[in-house]
Structure 1
Amino acid sequence: MSDLVLERTVAESQSERSEIVLPADSNALGSLFGGRLMQYIDLVGAMAASRHARAFTVTASMDHLDFVAPVRVGELLILKASVNRAFRTSMEIGVRVMVEDVREQRLRHVSSAYLTFVAVDREGNRLVVPQVVPETEHQKRRFEDAGRRREMRAGETQRKKEMRAALGAGWHV
């Protein structure tokens, strides 16, 4: 394919999503359900991954999610996602979630997450993705950090495989 792109900048795939938190999205205390926030994080992450890969993407993992502060009914949620690093067929996406105080014109950090997405074709076969070109110091730090997180995930995956083997075929971890 002659228009194959081997690399893309972080800025080319950054994605943003905004939501107003409604009562149907909240628990009995008037705070956004954690599962709903996870859904929003997954969606904005998928947008960034698909933009980067220019292909369908599927969520492989959400290996780190911090709930820093509650989000209340009526608040404006802002989610921003960017590709931290691309590997062969997968990408680590970082998502930062803030609440905008429209009266004070301030943002408050409420959550962060790291997700791994894999690019696939219509049959579900993995596709090679362009590499990421980090331009700013912040992007370069996130790029390096993503490599370290990948190494930790690989160790955790190996540990789980060994546990399953030790426990026998009938047990799943």
Structure 2
Amino acid sequence: MKSQFKHIKESQLTITELMLPSNSNFSGKIHGGHILNLMDQIAFACASKHSGNYCVTASVNKVDFLNPIEVGELVTMKASINYTGRTSMVVGLRVESENIRTGEIKHCNSSYFTMVAKDENGKSTPIPGIILTNKNEIRRFARSITRQKEGRNRTSRFSGKAFEIKEYLHLLEQSNSKVELKEK
């Protein structure tokens, strides 16, 4: 029988990988798609370790590439469970790069992966909760709850049926766009 609650540290993971020329883009920087692939792998491993089940990625919340990653740098990714629902969890990820010669460390991005635990039949399955032991863990858990509520509100407000053009046309006034509505 699985534990009903687990400490966050039980499933935290850190991976470090050398960035190779084969993973660079046309400008010689490490391709963002390669970094996203690595992030998905560590999110999967962290979520699977916490849940004790195979997990799938349900969504990725906001990936901002803050600093480029150079060929030859070491990239370290840290993954931690920030939130647990009934069958899903939010894995917080932090990506840093290190210049081997200078020792300079750059924060490259942070992101939040929502992962869902699946049983052997591919059905969503309950997961253990997390034990919150400090202010940062409580802050991350609360931030995940708030982010979920904001996401639901954003989705419903911009659905095709609920969207009202008149409420948003003013946003386009200073934009690099031209509105040519066809009358129906």
Cα displacement (A) at 1:151: 1.0
Q: Measure the CA separation in 1 of the matches of 2:88 and 2:155.
A: 15
| Change over 3 Å in CA distance of 1:146–1:19 after alignment to 2 | same
1:66 matches 2:94: no
Q: 1:3-24: CA deviations, max 9, x gaps?
A: 2311111111101111111111
Pick the structure with greater CA Rg: 2
Mapping of 1:1-150 within 5 angstroms? 3-150=1-148
**Residue identity matched to 1:101:** N
**Residue identity matched to 1:124:** G
Unmatched segments (≥5 aa) in structure 2: 164-184
| Change over 3 Å in CA distance of 1:61–1:137 after alignment to 2 | same
The structure with the largest strand share of the pair is 1
Q: Measure the CA separation in 2 of the matches of 1:18 and 1:115.
A: 19
Task: Give yes or no for contact 2:72–2:100 (8 Å, CA) kept in 1.
Answer: no
| Change over 3 Å in CA distance of 1:4–1:151 after alignment to 2 | same
**Residue identity matched to 1:15:** L
The structure 1 segments of at least 4 consecutive aligned residues displaced by more than 6 Å after TM superposition are none
Q: Measure the CA separation in 1 of the matches of 2:54 and 2:19.
A: 28
Q: Measure the CA separation in 1 of the matches of 2:154 and 2:15.
A: 31
Q: Measure the CA separation in 2 of the matches of 1:144 and 1:165.
A: 28
Cα displacement (A) at 1:104: 4.2
Q: Structure 2 length as normaliser, TM-score?
A: 0.82
Which secondary structure state, in structure 2, belongs to the residue aligned with residue 148 of structure 1?
helix
Q: 1:22-43: CA deviations, max 9, x gaps?
A: 1110012211111111101111
> How many corresponding residue pairs?
163
Cα displacement (A) at 1:85: 0.5
Cα displacement (A) at 1:132: 1.2
Q: Measure the CA separation in 1 of the matches of 2:102 and 2:20.
A: 21
**Residue identity matched to 2:160:** M
- Counterpart of 2:160 (choices 141, 159, 163) is 163
CA RMSD, Structure 1 to Structure 2 (Å) = 1.7
In structure 2, the residue matched to 1:153 is: 151
| Change over 3 Å in CA distance of 1:151–1:125 after alignment to 2 | same
Unmatched segments (≥5 aa) in structure 1: 167-173
Percent identical across equivalent pairs? 34
